Amino acid sequence: MSTRRFAALERSLNRKPIEIDYPEGQISTFFGSNVFGYDAMKAFLSDEAFNSVRDAMEKGTSIERKMADQVASGMKAWAISKGVTHYTHWFQPLTGTTAEKHDGFFDPIENGRVVEKFDGGQLVQQEPDASSFPSGGIRNTFEARGYTAWDPTSPAFIWGKTLCIPTIFVSYTGEALDFKTPLLKSIHALDKAATNVCQYFDKNVTKVFTTLGWEQEYFLIDAALFNVRFDLQQTGRTLFGASPAKGQQLEDHYWGSIPDRAAAFMHDFEHECHLLGIPVKTRHNEVAPAQFECAPVFEEVSVAVDHNQLLMDVMEKVALRHNLRVLLHEKPYAGVNGSGKHNNWSMATNTGKNLLSPGKTPKTNLMFLTFFVNTIRAVYEHADLMRASIASANNDHRLGANEAPPAIMSVFLGEQLTKVLDEIEKNVHGGKLSPEEKTNIKLDIGKIPDILKDNTDRNRTSPFAFTGNKFEFRAVGSSANCAGPMTVMNAIVAEQLNKFQAEVNALLDKKVEKDVAILQVLKKYIVESKWIRFEGNGYGEEWKKEAKRRGLNNIPTTPQALEAYVSKKTFQLFENLNILNHREQEARYDIALETYTKKIQIEGRIMADVVANQIIPAAIRYQHTLVENVNGMKNILGTDYKAAANLQLQMIKEISEHIAVIKTSADKMTEERKKANNLDSPKKQAIAYCEKVKPYFDEIRYHSDKLEAMIDDEVWPLPKYREMLFLK
Ligand code: ADP
Ligand code: MG
C-alpha cells in the first residue's frame, strides 16, 4: 500500500480552512506603509538628508558619509517604531534568488547592556563572507570578501521584523557579482543615449527612465502533495506523471472563476505586497489548471526588478500559510502550458512622456518613430544576445513548445505600424525631399492614430511584440530575474541610439534638414532590420522554415544560446557602455553554464532515485500480485490456466519490459553523467549534460508513465497529475 501518497491525499482533503485577516480600509490607506518611501523619509529625516536621498533617487547623485549617518539614524527610528529588531543588506547574487544576512540593531555597551545602533557605515556598506556565491572565478576563495553597497534608488522596506536595504553586490576588486550592478549601469547608459536623442525633439527632456511592468505566471499545488513529490521538491518540476484525461483541452480554466482557495491566497499575498509598496493590480486564472497570473502597474525598471524578486519570495512564504506551494518553475507539468514572465518595457522622460507612445502630431510621432525604429534595429542587431538573456534549463522546456514564443527572435509590430514603416521605406530617398514628399510623409506619420493603444492587434506567438505603448518581451521565464533581459534591452537600445545620433549628426553637418536627416536614417534602419519583423504565427512550422531562409537563428538549447554571451559583439557592447567588462561578462557566461549543468545534474540524480526507490519497487509489487494471481489460477485450473491468465501473463511481461528499459536507461544516464563531470570546461560539461544526459530523461519518463497507467492505483507512490493539478 502506498501510504505516503494516500496520507498526503487525506491531509490535503481534510485540511482546515484558513482564516485570513482581511485588512480594514481601502488599499490606499495602507499601501507602502512598510516602505521607507518619501512619506516616511519626510517624517523621519531632516530636510537636508531628505533632499540628498531624493537627489540620489532622481538624479543619481551620491550621498556623503555625513548625510548617510543621518539617513541611517532616521531609517532606524522609523524601523524601530514599527517593531523591527534586525536589518539586512538585501541583494541579488547570480544564484537567481535574493540573499540576506540579518544583523541585530543592538550593540553591547558596558555592564552587559546593549543599545540600538545603526549608523551610516552599516547602511552604506557591508562585507559579507561571500565565498559561497557564484563568481565565475572572479573571486578567489582566499580573497573571499565581496561587499554590498547601498542602492538608494530602491527604497528600504520591512519584511517581518527585519529592515531590508536594497544593495548591489561586488567583489573586493570592484567587479559585479550580482544582477543589479549591470542593470543600474545599463539604466544610466540608456538615460544618456535617449536623453541626447530627445534633444532633437524636445529640449526640456533632461532624463529618460526605463519602465518595466512584469506579468508573473505561477502554479499552485497543495503543500501535502508537493511534500511527497521529491522531483517537484528538489527540481521544481515533475519529472514523471502521465497526462490526466482532462488537462487544459476544454480551456475552461483560463480567466475562469478563481477557485476560493487560490483567491484567499491571492488576497493574502497581494495585501503583503501592498504593504511593501508593490503595486500588484491584476489577477486571473491562466491557461493550465491551477495556473494563475498577477501583474502590477509598471514602475521604473530597477524598482520593478526588486519588486518582482520580492514578490516571488513573498508568494512562497504566504503560500505556506495556506497549505499551498507556489511553483515558479517554467514547466512544472508536461502536457500543459508552462509559465512565463512577460517583461513590458518602455522609456519615459522626466517630462512625463512615454517615448513608445505615439503622439497626436507629426512632430511627436516622429519622436515616437525614432525610438520605435531604433528599438527594432537594436533587436535585429542583438537578437542572439536577447535569446541568451532568457536562456535557462527551465526555459528550454517552454521556448518553441507551441505554448510559448519560439526560440527564434522576431518582432511583431501590428498592421498599422507595419504600414507606416513601409511608407517611410517607399517615400524617403537619399536626397532632399520635395515639399510634396515631405507633406505626404508627415501626413502618413500623422495618421498613426493615438487610439492605437486600444486597438493594436495582438499576436500572442511573438517573443517580442509591440503592444501599443511598450514592447512586450514574452520569452522571459517565470522564475527568471528580470534584470538579466532588462539589462540587455537597455544596453542594446542605448548602443543603437548612440549610433543613430552619430548618423543624424553627420547628416546635419552636411546641412541636411533635421527632420529629413532623421527620416533618412530611420529608413536605413527599417530596411536593414526588415528580416526581424514577423507578423504571422510564431508557433507554426512554416515560420521555422521562413526564419531559416531569412538567416535568423533558431537556438533550441541553453548551452548553444549562451554562446552569444561571449561573442565579440557582446563584449564590445557591454564594454563600450561601461556596463560589464570582459572578465565580468565571461564570468557570467561560466556561471550560466554551470547553473545549467547543475540543474540537469540534479534532475538526473532525482530521476535515478525516484525510479530506483519508488517506481520500480511499486511496479515489482504489483507484478508480484499478478504472479500470485497466475499461480492461483494454475492451482485451480491446472494446465488450462494459460488461456484464462493470458492477460495477466501479458501484463507481467510488459511490466518487466518497462522496468528493464527504465533500469538500463538510468544506468546509462549515470554513466554519461560521470563522463560529463570529468570534462574540463563548463562549456563542454553543459553540452554533454544537454546532449548526452538529458535525452535519457524522456526515455525513462515514457516508460515510467506507462507503468503509472497500468499499475493498481493503490500501489502507485507518486501523487498523480489529476490530483495535483486541480485545487480542491
Ligand atoms: P496584457 O499584456 O496581459 O494584455 P496589459 O497590456 O494591460 O496586459 O499590461 C500588461 C503589463 O504592461 C502591466 O504590467 C503594465 O504595468 C505594463 N505596462 C503598461 N504600460 C507600460 C509602460 N509604459 N512601460 C512598461 N510597462 C507597461
Ligand atoms: Mg502581456
Mean pLDDT of 325-349: 96
Ligand 2 centroid to Cα of residue 470, in Å, is 10
**Of 260, 245, 400, 410, residue with least CA distance to 338:** 400
Task: Quote the pLDDT of residue 692.
Answer: 97
The verdict on the CB of residue 298 being under 6 Å from ligand 1 is yes
C-alpha grid cell, residue 204: 526640456
- Ligand 1 atom nearest the C-alpha of 468 is 6
Structure confidence by residue, pLDDT tens digits, 577-628? 999 999 999 999 999 999 999 999 999 999 999 999 999 999 999 999 999 9
Q: Which residues surround ligand 2, an ion (CB under 5 A)?
A: 342
Ligand 2 centroid to Cα of residue 105, in Å, is 42
Task: Quote the pLDDT of residue 143.
Answer: 57
CA 173 to chain centre: 29
**Of 720, 711, 600, residue with least CA distance to 659:** 711
Q: How would DSSP label each residue in 43-90?
A: HHS-HHHHHHHHHHHHH-----HHHHHHHHHHHHHHHHHTT--EEEEE
Ligand 2 centroid to Cα of residue 215, in Å, is 7
The verdict on the CB of residue 339 being under 6 Å from ligand 1 is no
**Of 686, 677, 460, 507, residue with least CA distance to 590:** 686
Task: Quote the pLDDT of residue 2.
Answer: 57
Q: What three-state secondary structure class fits 171?
A: strand
Which residue of 281, 283, 311, 344 sits with most ligand 1 atoms within 8 Å of its CB, as the best mutation to test the pocket?
344
What gap in Å lies between CA 698 and CA 683, rounded to an integer? 23
Structure confidence by residue, pLDDT tens digits, 117-163? 888 888 988 877 666 777 877 765 445 578 888 999 999 999 999 99
Query: Which pTM value belongs to this model?
Result: 0.94
Structure confidence by residue, pLDDT tens digits, 497-550? 999 999 999 999 999 999 999 999 999 999 999 999 999 888 888 899 999 999
Asked if the model's pLDDT at residue 1 lies above 60, the reply is no
> Which residue would you say has higher pLDDT here, 614 or 65?
614
The verdict on the CB of residue 469 being under 6 Å from ligand 1 is yes
Under DSSP, the state recorded for 693 is I
What gap in Å lies between CA 141 and CA 136, rounded to an integer? 11
The verdict on the CB of residue 486 being under 6 Å from ligand 1 is no
**Of 545, 592, 589, 517, residue with least CA distance to 406:** 545
The verdict on the CB of residue 212 being under 6 Å from ligand 1 is yes
Task: Quote the pLDDT of residue 199.
Answer: 98
Ligand 1 centroid to Cα of residue 293, in Å, is 13
Ligand number nearest CA of 284 is: 1
- Ligand 1 atom nearest the C-alpha of 293 is 3
Ligand 1 centroid to Cα of residue 212, in Å, is 8
Structure confidence by residue, pLDDT tens digits, 467-501? 989 999 999 999 999 999 999 999 999 999 999 99
Give the long-range contacts of residues 708-715, CB within 8 A, separation 24 or more: 708/240, 708/241, 708/242, 709/242, 710/651, 710/654, 710/655, 711/618, 711/619, 711/622, 711/655, 712/622, 712/625, 714/1, 714/2, 715/1, 715/2, 715/618, 715/621, 715/622
Task: List CB contacts of 588: < 8 A, sequence separation 6 or more.
Answer: 94, 136, 565, 580
What gap in Å lies between CA 162 and CA 104, rounded to an integer? 9
The rounded mean pLDDT for the chain is 91
Residue 480 vs residues 136, 184, 215, 258, 548: alpha-carbon distances, Å: 19, 18, 12, 25, 28
The verdict on the CB of residue 36 being under 6 Å from ligand 1 is no
Ligand number nearest CA of 356 is: 1
Give the H or E element holding residue 248.
none
Task: List CB contacts of 603: < 8 A, sequence separation 6 or more.
Answer: 231, 235, 239, 393, 697
Ligand 1 centroid to Cα of residue 548, in Å, is 31
The verdict on the CB of residue 344 being under 6 Å from ligand 1 is yes
C-alpha grid cell, residue 473: 518581451
Structure confidence by residue, pLDDT tens digits, 445-456? 655 554 454 445
Mean pLDDT of 30-39: 94
- Ligand 1 atom nearest the C-alpha of 458 is 4
The verdict on the CB of residue 176 being under 6 Å from ligand 1 is no
Task: List CB contacts of 529: < 8 A, sequence separation 6 or more.
Answer: 373, 376, 377, 379, 380, 381
Structure confidence by residue, pLDDT tens digits, 381-411? 999 999 999 999 999 999 877 677 778 999 9
Asked if the model's pLDDT at residue 3 lies above 60, the reply is yes
Ligand 1 centroid to Cα of residue 298, in Å, is 7
Asked if the model's pLDDT at residue 704 lies above 90, the reply is yes
> Which residue would you say has higher pLDDT here, 19 or 227?
227
What distance, in Å, lies between the first and last C-alpha atoms of the chain?
24
The verdict on the CB of residue 272 being under 6 Å from ligand 1 is no
For strand 86-91 and strand 125-126, is the pairing parallel, antiparallel, or unpaired? unpaired
Ligand 1 centroid to Cα of residue 162, in Å, is 32
Task: Quote the pLDDT of residue 129.
Answer: 67
Ligand 1 centroid to Cα of residue 142, in Å, is 46
The verdict on the CB of residue 601 being under 6 Å from ligand 1 is no
